[in-house]
Amino acid sequence: MRAIFTVFRKEFFENLRDRRILLSALVFGPVLGPVVLAALLQISVSKGEATFEKPMTLQVVGAENAPNLMTMLESRDIKIERREMTEQQIREAIAQREIKVALQIPSNFAERWSRSEPAAVQIFVDSSDQFGGDASAARVSRAINSYSQQVSQTRLMLRGVDPVSMAAVVVHEVDVSTPASRAIFALGILSYLTIFAMLFGGMYLAIDATAGERERGSLESLLTAPMPRAHIIYGKIAATASYMLISMALTLTACAVALQYVRLEELGMSLSMDALTTIKLFAVSAPLAIFGAGLLTVVASFTRSFREAQSYLTFAISIPTFPLIFVGLLQVDPTPLAMATPSLSQHFLMMEILRGETPVITDLLLSASVTALIGTSLCWIAGRLYEREAILG
């Protein structure tokens, strides 16, 4: 045990002096993580503003043909900008991003309106633009539709028909999401960032302690120390795992701080990542450090050089992290099998905690024990790999 600690302490402190390792463990995740998170959330906040809250400006051609419609739109915070353009000019202006959305009212609008014939208008938009044109067009369209409905109901009443008979089925959508649960979709990225930062934080130490040690030629001397070889590698894994934990703790803390500056309440999200939540997030994902350190060390044990290890380990890191990006999109359920899967179970538990729920105790136990069990097995395998003579290269 004492020898394991000696190896651990040496690896821990030696690598604190290595700029590359320090950068990956203590700077990369903790700085980049919150920046990515805050940026993503800020984008969704401002998108929400553009489509639902902010007054928007609408370019209208032929506004004089429908003055009442214009009044209605302005009453809904849609500012009208009267323009004289041909259809061709509108298309070009949109293509060149001079304007996002345009409404064209044909000159026969009033005439058809007075005859109670459907009066057509055109909304011009580039649905492939990424600056909210689509959402603005949808907002204008919704406003006109509801206006149209009101007017047609009035017309029916004037003709003595009860407008209620026009509605055979009425759909009421009941949104049961809480503000926190709406935030969760955007925050799905948090679990990915945390787990990635954790694994990345230990990656260079895992490489340095295995392939690096061999490449420098210090491995042979180390293996002549009077201790079982497995103990040497356990000490190294412990150092890797501790860097992973530090990296994760810093990333979570930094994300918690960054979230204070994102105006989530404007999106109707009341998400709190307070100290207690942050500690809970750390606690549920901590067992993954043993798994990650074991996995990276086992993979690195097969490589011959620092460079080789680097490319293999980058790949190894993406295995437990990459699927997390798609979990949200694919609507994977937190089944017992998922709860027994390292990284996936941590993702679900973190999401539950962020939603303000208390995870089921069996889920917690399943996640922690299976992850720790697989992690310990990987450490044992790493120990066995170091007993081989091939490890000398």
| Contact positions vs other proteins (CB under 8 A) | 2-3, 6-7, 10, 14-15, 17-18, 213, 216-228, 389, 392
Give the integer Cα–Cα distance in Å for 287 and 336. Answer: 17
User: What minimum distance in Å lies between the beta carbon of 303 and other proteins?
Assistant: 17
User: What minimum distance in Å lies between the beta carbon of 52 and other proteins?
Assistant: 55
Phi, psi of 286 (to 5 degrees): -55, -40
SS3 assignment for 308-329: HHHHHHHHHHHHHHHHHHHHHH
Q: Which is nearer to other proteins, 36 or 230 (CB)?
A: 230
Give the integer Cα–Cα distance in Å for 114 and 253. Answer: 64
Q: Which is nearer to other proteins, 6 or 89 (CB)?
A: 6
User: What minimum distance in Å lies between the beta carbon of 19 and other proteins?
Assistant: 10
Q: Is 58 helix (H, G, I), strand (E, B) or coil?
A: strand
Q: Which is nearer to other proteins, 35 or 227 (CB)?
A: 227
Q: Which is nearer to other proteins, 218 or 377 (CB)?
A: 218
Q: Which is nearer to other proteins, 215 or 363 (CB)?
A: 215
Q: Which is nearer to other proteins, 100 or 214 (CB)?
A: 214
116: left (phi over 0), alpha (psi -120 to 50) or beta: left
Phi, psi of 161 (to 5 degrees): -105, 135
Give yes or no for a contact between 124 and 62, defined as CB atoms under 8 angstroms apart: no
Q: Which is nearer to other proteins, 84 or 389 (CB)?
A: 389
Q: Tell me the sheet residues that pair with 80.
A: 58
Give one DSSP letter per residue of 338-388, joined into a string.
HHTSTTHHHHHHHHHHHTTPPPPHHHHHHHHHHHHHHHHHHHHHHHHHHHS
Q: Which is nearer to other proteins, 180 or 227 (CB)?
A: 227
User: What minimum distance in Å lies between the beta carbon of 219 and other proteins?
Assistant: 8
The C-alpha angle with vertex 381 and arms to 7 and 218, in degrees rounded to 5, equals 35
Show the tokens assigned to 330.
């694919």
User: What minimum distance in Å lies between the beta carbon of 51 and other proteins?
Assistant: 54
Q: Which is nearer to other proteins, 93 or 222 (CB)?
A: 222
Give yes or no for a contact between 375 and 290, defined as CB atoms under 8 angstroms apart: yes
Half-sphere exposure of 75 (CA within 13 A, CB side): 9
User: What minimum distance in Å lies between the beta carbon of 6 and other proteins?
Assistant: 5
Q: Which is nearer to other proteins, 216 or 263 (CB)?
A: 216
Give one DSSP letter per residue of 122-148, joined into a string.
EEEE-TT-SSSHHHHHHHHHHHHHHHH
Give the integer Cα–Cα distance in Å for 377 and 384. Answer: 10
CA-nearest of 118, 276, 292 to 203 is 292
User: What minimum distance in Å lies between the beta carbon of 14 and other proteins?
Assistant: 5
Give yes or no for a contact between 154 and 68, defined as CB atoms under 8 angstroms apart: no
97: left (phi over 0), alpha (psi -120 to 50) or beta: left
